[in-house]
Each structure stands twice: as C-alpha cells, then as structure tokens.
Amino acid sequence: MALVEVQVPDIGDFDEVTVIELMVKVGDTVKAEQSLITVESDKASMEIPSSTAGVVTAMRVAMGDKVKQGSVLLVVEAAGAASASAAAPAVATPVAAAPAAAPVTVAAAAVPVASGPVQVFVPDIGDFKDVAVIEVMVKPGDTIKVEQSLITVESDKASMEIPSSHAGVLKELKVKVGDTVNIGDLLAILEGTLAAAAPVAATSAAVVAVASAPAAAPTPVAAAVAAVSAPAHAPGGNTVGLPHASPSVRKFARELGVPLAEVKGSGLKGRITEADVQAFTQAVMSGAAQTKAQAAKAPAATGGGGSELGLIPWPKVDFAKFGPIERKEMGRIKKISGANLLRNAIMIPAVTNHDDADITDLEAFRVSTNKENEKSGVKVTMLAFLIKACVAALKKYPEFNSSLDSSNGGDALVYKNYWHIGFAADTPNGLMVPVIRDCDKKGVLQISQEMGELAKKARDGKLGPAEMTGATFTISSLGGIGGKYFTPIINAPEVAILGVCKSTMEPVWDGKQFVPRLMLPLSLTWDHRVIDGAAAARFNAFLGQILSDFRRVLL
Ligand code: CAO
C-alpha cells in the first residue's frame, strides 16, 4: 500500500480558488475520477476528481481554504494496481500534462475582430462534450464587453460561464437554455468594434497553440481546470446568477425536481449542499414546506385571480426565425374585449349545450313578412325572432336572466325583472355587444329596426356606453356567415349566452317519413354555478318549441 498525496492540478492563471465543498472524509473509499472537493472562482465552480482509487487517510484542506496548483488536498492509501501509478509524483501528474495550455483554452472565440458582424464561438472546453446551456445572460441589442459572460454551461463536473471574445452589440444569439453545445459551435453574432481587436487576436493565437497540442486536455481534471481558467482574465466580473451550488448538487436537485433557488444553503457563504436539497425535499413531502409554485397554485383553487394561477409563462417565439413577419398593435376595442373574454373564460365554470330548432315555418313567415313590408325599409331578421323567443324562455327560466351577487362573496343571485338583450356585432374594430332594452315590451319589427341602427352605430364606432351596458342575456349569431355549432363565452356578469349558427335544410323523421326541415343550430353556454345541466337542456328544448311554432310566445 502506498500513500499518495492528491494535489490541486494545473488551474491555469488562477492564483487561488476557494474550497467550498468537501465531498469525502477520512475513512472513505474513493474510486478513480470520483469528485473529492468543489472549488469555486467568481465565474465557475468545478469538482476536482481523484485520479487514484483508495482510502482517504488524511484531509489536508478545510472548507474556505484557498488552494492553488500543487496544494495537497488529501492523502489516499492507494489500492492495488492503482497505487503504482498513483504513487508517482502526485495525482495531479496527468493533469500537469497540459502545462500552459489550460489557462487559455476557454479564453473565448477564435475569430479576429473587425468592425461589422463578428461570430463568437464556443471556445475549447477541454474534452467536455455536449454541455448543457443552463443560463443565457445577454439578449439581442445588449452592448457586450470583451470577456463579458454570455452563457453558463454545465456538465456533471463543472459549471462555467462562457465569455465573449469580442466587444460589440449583440445581433443574434444562436443558443438557448436547454441546448447542448460543443467546442466550435456558433454562439452569437456581434456587430463588432475595433476596440476588441487586440485581446481577441491574442486569444485567437492562444487557441491555435492549444489546438496544436493534442495532449493538452487529456483528462477530465484538465478539462475542468481549463473551464475555470478563462474567467481568470476577468477577475471581479459578475458572479454567476444561479443558486450557489456545485454542479453535482444542481444535477441532484434537477433529478428530484427541486427548485434550487428556493433551497436555503447551509454551506460556506450560503452554498447549497446535497444535504440541504434532501432536507428541502423532505420538508415539502411531509407538508411542512411548500414550493413557490405550490403556494401560487393554492389560491387559484379557491377562486383566486389569473395572476395566482401559477401558469407557466407565455411562450416567447422569435417568429422572424421562421419567415417574414409584420407586427401590428392591437386596437383599443380588441384589447378591452380580449381582457374581458379572458377573465370570463377563466373565472366562469361554463358548459355549452348544443341543440337544433326547426325554423321552417318561422323562416317562411319572416320571408313573407319582409315581402309585405318591402316598402317600409325595415327588414325583419331571424335574430329579432330569436330575441323574442329568448325573452319568453328567460321568463320561464328566470335564473338565466340573473347574476351572481359578488358583493357578498357571490353566494346570492340577483333576478332581474327586465329583459335587455345584447347581441354580438362584428365590426372593423373588433367585437362589440350593443344592447336592445326592454325586449319584452317590443315587437319583432321594432327590435329589427333598433338592431339595424345599433349594428350600424357599432360598425361606425359611434356606440355610446349606455348602448353597450345593462344586458341580462346575450345572443351571438354567426347565422349570416356559416358554421354548425360553437362555444360562446359568457358576457359577465350575465350567466348565459346563446350562440346561433347557419340554418340548413335537413331530413327530419316525422314519425312516418323523412321530411325536409330548416334546422337552426343553437349553442347555449351557461354558468354551472348558477344553472344545472337539466335546466339548460329544458331552456334549449323550450326555445326550440317556440321557434318551431312562434304562437307559443303568446302563451
Ligand atoms: N341561418 C341562415 N341564414 C341566416 C341566419 C341563420 N341563422 N341568420 C341570418 N341569416 C342570413 C339572413 O337571412 C341574411 O340573408 P339575406 O341577406 O339573404 O336576407 C344574411 O344572413 C344576413 O343576415 P342579417 O342581415 O339579418 O344579419 P344578422 O341578423 O344575421 O346579423 C349581426 C346581424 C349584427 C349580428 C351580424 O352582422 C354580425 O355582426 N354577426 C356576427 C356576430 C359575431 O361576430 N358573433 C361572434 C361573437 S363570438 O366571437
């Protein structure tokens, strides 16, 4: 058995890095390549693996110690064959095979700068392959300094910030969080400035030198060290904007689905350890603690607003990447109606019942009436008949003409003894809902006339607020356009809305034979807090009866 002193390998330009985590203790049996400690600079953290197998007999460093190349970390009693190789000058020997190369390998891209577009590539990151981008620190339009960190990448042994080789304005980022990158991958395009030329040219030369020394990064340690070395050119730069934890702890947290940013670190300078992640998981599983996502979801379940829904963010897509685009600001009306529709869609437990009404006779009556009244200038519309039919149904089923009283928590119903009907009007500025008042007191002709006037005003953008408020029920008719059924959104604080589509001639069984009948598709959406499914089916059935024989309105 031979005692081997494990030393800090070549860590390039770094004078000192801080020991932030001890991953083994005296008595532990370690395998070759097993991580021993984690060290950290202001730009990267990495785990230092052992190059020999054996039992740890003494620790030579403690948390918070500053170490540099050659510092003895611990003593290992090397086991079997491993001891022979490890007994040599120090474990760091293979690492030292990359003497001067490591310091410059990550020193960013290798493209000489000039004014105009400049490409920034992933520099030499040793023999790390397919490292994951875990943070993007800049965005197009940002002014970038030489060696400013652009992204953070992470392997299972190290996390590191990749600095820019050039100064300039960021035109395009070629990677996003979740991508994996390798040496030489195009990272970004800058509009370069001449000021950056000198340092980058030097870096470029250095990288060429490394490339011509193939043995320069032969071990994981060398690669990890190389990763640390680049930021040494920019001491005092920004610290990593990520939770303070080693790559292995971050990986552990990811596997468990633990939001690391919410874990309190007990390590040096608040560093999060594996034990912290375990403790956090146990606390959440036992119900003693909640993640922020859980806390955000809780109020939504009890009727909280949209901001409390804990929804994932809206996708941000650069559509221009896929083809030419044109951006137009939405109009005021669309913005207002959009906000209302969203609230109503989210907050109302809405259900839609679909049905058909036989309007064969009613349509024949409407057409003949219009012929008779040709000279009056007033066209009787199907929608006017629908309004009258709905008023009759609303009177028979008054909860459809009610609203939830929100002043006392929404547990009372306000029944309205007036029947003001709104109708959706398609206008160049967007959807508007003019209201015809006291439809119970008006005939179909008057309703048709008022509807024509209000629809024109809506299209001309001349509706006053009084003409758009106070409805007790709304009808949205797409009958003049087409379609079969749809699911209209309730116009709160109303509790129901009727959607109407285009009538079509269909074969209907009359008990003896199929006969052609003009059928009108109806879609009734209702608020399940106020109305039950059976009541909705009855409402539709009653509406169908009236429309098939309009004399029932008089009953
Ligand atoms: N089935 C078959 N044909 C129908 C019909 C129906 N249900 N309803 C209307 N029609 C026919 C009419 O007979 C008329 O045909 P003619 O010109 O041959 O007489 C034509 O469609 C136009 O009808 P109309 O002038 O009577 O208009 P309308 O009453 O159907 O609609 C209005 C008026 C203001 C509601 C309508 O212009 C409109 O804006 N509709 C869109 C509403 C909307 O956008 N709803 C969706 C809201 S949810 O996003």
Residues 388-434 have pLDDT tens digits of 999 999 999 999 999 998 776 668 999 999 999 999 999 998 999 99
Q: Residue 479: CB within 6 Å of ligand 1? A: yes
User: For residue 427, which atom of ligand 1 is closest to its CA?
Assistant: 39
In this prediction the pTM is 0.52
User: For residue 366, which atom of ligand 1 is closest to its CA?
Assistant: 13
User: For residue 502, which atom of ligand 1 is closest to its CA?
Assistant: 1
Nearest CA to 294 among 252, 264, 262?
A: 262
Tell me which of 268 and 26 has the higher pLDDT: 26
Q: Residue 105: CB within 6 Å of ligand 1? A: no
DSSP 271: P
Nearest CA to 517 among 531, 504, 533?
A: 504
Q: Residue 49: CB within 6 Å of ligand 1? A: no
Nearest CA to 221 among 60, 47, 435?
A: 47
Q: In the prediction, which pLDDT does 54 show?
A: 92
**Average pLDDT, integer, range 283-312:** 64
Residue nearest atom 13 in ligand 1 by C-alpha distance: 480
Burial of 206 (0-12, 13-18, 19+ CB in 10 A): buried
Mean pLDDT check: name the lowest of 21-30, 38-47, 297-306, 441-450. Answer: 297-306
pLDDT digits (tens, 9 = 90+) for 28-49: 999 888 888 888 877 777 788 8
User: For residue 481, which atom of ligand 1 is closest to its CA?
Assistant: 21
Q: In the prediction, which pLDDT does 193 show?
A: 61
Give CA–CA dist 292/298, Å, rounded.
Answer: 10
Identify the three-state secondary structure at position 229.
helix
Nearest CA to 421 among 399, 445, 442?
A: 442
| pLDDT above 70: residue 304 | no
User: For residue 476, which atom of ligand 1 is closest to its CA?
Assistant: 45
Nearest CA to 152 among 118, 175, 129?
A: 175
| pLDDT above 50: residue 320 | yes
pLDDT digits (tens, 9 = 90+) for 123-170: 877 667 888 888 888 999 999 988 888 988 887 777 778 888 889 999
Q: Is 528 a catalytic residue?
A: yes
Give CA–CA dist 133/181, Å, rounded.
Answer: 7
**Average pLDDT, integer, range 250-256:** 80
Q: Residue 499: CB within 6 Å of ligand 1? A: no
Which of the listed residues 358, 365, 383, 524 should we mutate to test ligand 1's pocket, taking the one with most ligand atoms within 8 A of CB? Answer: 383
Residue 482 CA to ligand 1 centre (angstroms): 9
**Average pLDDT, integer, range 485-509:** 97
Residue 297 CA to ligand 1 centre (angstroms): 42
Residue 374 CA to ligand 1 centre (angstroms): 19
| pLDDT above 90: residue 244 | no
User: For residue 426, which atom of ligand 1 is closest to its CA?
Assistant: 39
Nearest CA to 118 among 179, 175, 164, 182?
A: 164
Residue 450 CA to ligand 1 centre (angstroms): 15
Residue nearest atom 21 in ligand 1 by C-alpha distance: 480
Residue 451 CA to ligand 1 centre (angstroms): 11
Q: Residue 488: CB within 6 Å of ligand 1? A: yes
Q: In the prediction, which pLDDT does 308 show?
A: 61
Q: Residue 500: CB within 6 Å of ligand 1? A: yes
Residue 500 CA to ligand 1 centre (angstroms): 9
**Average pLDDT, integer, range 309-315:** 85
Residue nearest atom 34 in ligand 1 by C-alpha distance: 425
Q: In the prediction, which pLDDT does 447 show?
A: 98
Tell me which of 323 and 303 has the higher pLDDT: 323
Q: In the prediction, which pLDDT does 498 show?
A: 98
User: For residue 425, which atom of ligand 1 is closest to its CA?
Assistant: 39
Q: Residue 455: CB within 6 Å of ligand 1? A: yes
Give CA–CA dist 365/373, Å, rounded.
Answer: 12
| pLDDT above 70: residue 541 | yes
**Average pLDDT, integer, range 449-460:** 96
Residue 382 CA to ligand 1 centre (angstroms): 8
Q: Residue 477: CB within 6 Å of ligand 1? A: yes
Mean pLDDT check: name the lowest of 44-48, 89-93, 279-283, 389-393. Answer: 89-93
**Average pLDDT, integer, range 438-449:** 97
Residue 475 CA to ligand 1 centre (angstroms): 11
Which of the listed residues 381, 386, 501 should we mutate to test ligand 1's pocket, taking the one with most ligand atoms within 8 A of CB? Answer: 381
Q: How confident is the model at residue 242 (pLDDT cuts 50, 70, 90)?
A: low
The tokens 């202001």 sit on which residue?
Answer: 42
Q: Residue 423: CB within 6 Å of ligand 1? A: yes
Q: Does an H or E element contain 499, and which?
A: strand 496-500
Q: In the prediction, which pLDDT does 218 show?
A: 28
| pLDDT above 50: residue 119 | yes
Q: Does an H or E element contain 55, and which?
A: strand 54-59
Give CA–CA dist 541/554, Å, rounded.
Answer: 17
Q: Residue 90: CB within 6 Å of ligand 1? A: no
| pLDDT above 50: residue 51 | yes
**Average pLDDT, integer, range 356-378:** 93
Question: Phi and psi (nearest 5°) for 149?
Answer: -70, 135
| pLDDT above 90: residue 439 | yes
Residue nearest atom 46 in ligand 1 by C-alpha distance: 476
SS3 content of the chain, % helix, strand, coil (to 5): 35, 25, 40
Residue 121 CA to ligand 1 centre (angstroms): 60
